[in-house]
Structure 1
Amino acid sequence: MNVDVVRGQAGDASARFELSGLLAMRCYAALSIFLVHLIALPKLPIPTYLWFLPAHFGNGVPLFYIVSAFGLFVGYRGRIKTRQELREFYLRRFLRIAPLFYFIMLFYVPFCWTMWGTTIPLSQFVSSALFIFNFVPNHVAGFVMASWSIGVEMAFYAILPLLVFAITGLARSLVLLAVAVFLSANWDLAFHGTEGALALFGQLSLMAHLFYFAAGIAGCYAWLGLRRTSPQIGRIVFAASLLTIAGLICFASQIAVLIGTMLGPSGGSGVKAIWAVALTGAVVGVSLYPQKWFVNPAAKLLGNASFSIYLWHPVVIVILDRLGLYHTIYASFDGVSIPFLASLIATLAVLIPLSLLSYRYIERPGMALGARFNRLGAA
């Protein structure tokens, strides 16, 4: 589903909601994750004033989850009632993800051999192709870099029709959010002290991230209740959320200590829950009133290609690092500010055209194929 325009449900099924704010959020989520990996993969030195990038911009992944649940509930609530509608939902979701993901999987066969001299085990290739790797402890991270979140997303798609049936209003969505936070906290406790593949499974499984999706669902119902109010409400919600996010960044250690003192080993889940609420508030605010400085043409364009940006960016970074680009840039300038900026610009100069082409020639045909199959099935 394109989250820019989604069809309304539950009493206003003929309505079309312009949700360009969700596209912009997808852009910023993808770019924030890109920045984290641009620093981490080639181990680039960064200016001290950018300390918050590696520390907090990984929250782009939870933002993706929140936007996904928000957009899907706006579009599918009240729609998945028959076997045909259930079939249409799963087919659309599969063909939204699979074409590009399968292309990337095949690309990784020569890529891994060329870069590291490694081969991909057949069992891991199959679990990724079947989108079941989130349920396999030794495969949960995926062999495609950063694909662990795709496993989480596909697992959420599997249960979404049940959630659409059960969660029919704001009150129920808040109950779901509370239950999801409780389950996540206990899931973390269950894996506390584990190491290796088991610890990774605990961190990357759907259960550890379910409350982000629940927050997005609650955000959808909050938006539905507020969307006919004054645009000023959207401005206020968005501004308050940005201030909260800034506070979480500036006082992260103090907040973590405070919540850790209150909740003990479950304190990490408490901090994540606060982040989920703050990010959801931003999504609700930008959906109520998409301010032009934030929801601009570039953000919407890259929001459409955000899935391509997400899957291609580690590949681009690794290749440019192997070619020695970052080493050459850092050796050519004094300090770290200018080299980091030059590295950022050079990487985006490769990544953005590649992602736009990937979206145009792989993602869009896949989405069109899903729509065509569904029209044939309904005929």
Structure 2
Amino acid sequence: MTNYSIWPSIALIGLCVAMLSVRRRNGFARSPGLSTDGRLEVLDGLRAFLALGVFFHHMSIRRGAVATGVVALPPSTFYAMIGPGSVCLFFMITGYLFWLRIIDSTQGIAWRRIYVNRFFRIVPLYLVAVFGYFIVVLLRARFQTSQPATQTASQIAQWLSFGILSRADPFLGDRNSLSAIGATWSLHYEWLFYFSLPMLWVASKIAKHLSVVLSAIALLSILWRLIGQPECYFIAHFLAGMLACSLIKVAPKIRGDGPARSALAICLLLGAGLAGPQTYDWTVAVLLGAFFMLVASGTSLFGLLSTRGAQRLGKASYSIYLLHGLVLTVVLSPRVLGNFAVQSPYAFWITGAICTMLLIPLSMVSYTFVEEPGIRLGKRICRLLPDVNGPSNAMNLLPPGH
């Protein structure tokens, strides 16, 4: 076994799913906003594994940083790609769910309701993660700083932009602690997509929804060099989710599940990994898009995505995504278990198991006491708005960014 063996992470993921599948608990029996016919169930299950994929990606990076002092992608293609690849699929889920809401609308959309719901779905946990990051930095600085107060205030304001700013300056200039909050970068692109929704809605009323998506893909294929990287790939990932949604709407017979579809989906996922090591690549984007198409149309990966454990983990996936950096930064600090973790592969994976066993209960608690109350508050505020339409199942599923 090495520091970059694949099987320990698979075993830890399997253990998490198995533990959460043992006994039914009403609070985590099903995910919020899950459609009663189960068509979105596989997406909720997928989110669980994507969030854990980002966690193991950053855990391998953090181990390398402790051992060498350099923050860099791990030499393992699997661990180098599992994090960015998971974020790509998160963007596809976002594109799918919001495009579904748009093309299902017949009389218009209550935009204020959408943005209020998004705010209270994203921001409460984001603030918890940011304040945790602030505490880590302050503890490391022993509550002392030599920078001007105006600079500190500017940094705080940037971090309190709720992820809308692309790159906030490190708090107190401490770049070494950015690992505690690094996952929030993807929220910037999520917000940009949310802000584009009115334009997409107008386009969907002018032309057929499938034509809109195909036109956007054609335009991206022409302008991608001007857009730059990796932004052009992020746009492609959102469009891949939208394309899957439109194709399923146009040809509902492609929905289904079964061993052959699951085997094909896994082959596509493996193909995307073998096409690496660069995640931001057109071949990888196409293969991941094809994989997502199968999952969005009902493929459960031999039932794995529909298991009770996957559904419960999917419910807390946003917490896993945002809080895992804090767990890794604290546990893998030299004063805690960082020095122990770099002694041998066995020591590293023992530490990884400890991080996993801390992260999952923490995420469940944060969902119960931070995310869920935020969701309820957003819904209560929406009831007071004059343009509230009926609830949408799809809009309650949040991919963090994520």
Q: Is this a same-fold pair by TM over 0.5?
A: yes
SS of equivalent to 1:324: helix
Query: 1:5 aligns to what?
Result: 34
Alignment of 1:308 with 2:313, yes or no, is no
CA–CA separation in structure 2 for the residues paired with 1:181 and 1:116: 47
Note if contact 2:53-2:86 (Cα within 8 Å) is conserved in structure 1: yes
Equivalent residue, structure 2, for 1:351:
359
Aligned residue in 2 for 1:341: 349
Find the aligned partners of 1:363 and 1:320 in 2 and give their Cα distance. 24
TM-score computed with the length of structure 1 as normaliser: 0.76
1:296 to 300, 303, 307: 307
Structure 2 residue corresponding to 1:164, chosen from 201, 209, 225: 201
Which runs of 5 or more residues in structure 2 are unaligned?
Answer: 1-30, 68-74, 146-150, 389-402
The match for 2:289 is: 277
Q: Secondary structure at the match of 2:135?
A: helix
TM-score, normalised relative to structure 2: 0.72
Matches within 5 A, 1:131-170: 131=162, 133-134=164-165, 144-167=181-204, 168-170=208-210
Aligned to 1:193: none
| Matching residue within 372, 381, 393 for 1:364 | 372
1:70 is aligned with what amino acid? Y
Shifted more, 126-135 versus 91-100: the winner is 126-135
Q: Note if 1:33 corresponds to 2:63.
A: no
The answer to whether the aligner puts 1:185 opposite 2:214 as a matched pair is no
Partner deviation per Cα, 1:269-302 (whole Å, 9 max, x = no partner): 42353244234234324x3557423321111111
| One of 99, 104, 126 as aligned partner of 1:73 | 99
2:19 counterpart residue number: none
C-alpha distance in 2 between matches for 1:103 and 1:225: 41
CA distance in 2, matches of 1:115, 1:308: 24
Distance 1:304 1:132, change over 3 A: closer
Judge conservation of contact 2:95–2:239 (CA < 8 Å) in 1. yes
Determine whether 1:211 maps to 2:236: yes
User: In 1, distance between residues paired with 2:164 and 2:100?
Assistant: 28
Structure 1 counterpart of 2:391: none
- Which amino acid counterpart does residue 64 of structure 1 have in structure 2? F
Equivalent of 1:100, from 122, 125, 134?
A: 125
1:17 positional shift: 5.8
For structure 1, the 5+ residue unaligned runs are 7-14, 189-201, 257-266
- Is residue 184–residue 209 contact of structure 1 (8 Å, CA) maintained in 2? no
SS at 1:252's partner residue? coil
Structure 1, 112-121 or 351-360: larger mean CA deviation: 112-121
CA RMSD of aligned residues (A): 3.4
1:125 aligns with 2:162: no
Q: CA deviation at 1:132?
A: 6.5
Task: Give, as a single letter, the amino acid of the residue that structure 1 aligns with 2:353.
Answer: I
Structure 1 residues 371, 282: closer, same or farther in 2, change over 3 A?
A: same
In 2 relative to 1, CA 370–180 (structure 1 residues): closer, same or farther, beyond 3 Å?
Answer: farther
Question: Aligned runs of 1:201-280 on 2, under 5 Å?
Answer: 203=230, 209-228=234-253, 231-232=256-257, 236-252=260-276, 269-280=281-292
Structure number having the greater helix percentage: 1
What residue number does 1:173 align with?
213
Q: Which residue of 1 aligns with 2:88?
A: 62
The 8 Å contact of residues 94 and 238 in structure 2, kept in 1 or not, is answered as yes
Query: How far is the alpha carbon of 1:376 from its aligned partner?
Result: 1.9
* Aligned partner of residue 377 in structure 1, secondary structure: coil
Q: Number of aligned residue pairs: give it.
A: 332
Identity of aligned residues (%): 23
Question: 1:175 is aligned with what amino acid?
Answer: S
For the residue of structure 1 that corresponds to 2:304, the secondary structure is coil
Aligned residue identity for 1:311: L
Question: How far, CA to CA, are the matches of 2:246 and 2:287 in structure 1?
Answer: 19
| Structure-2 separation of matches of 1:184 and 1:138 | 28
SS at match of 1:42: helix
Q: Which amino acid aligns with 1:359?
A: Y
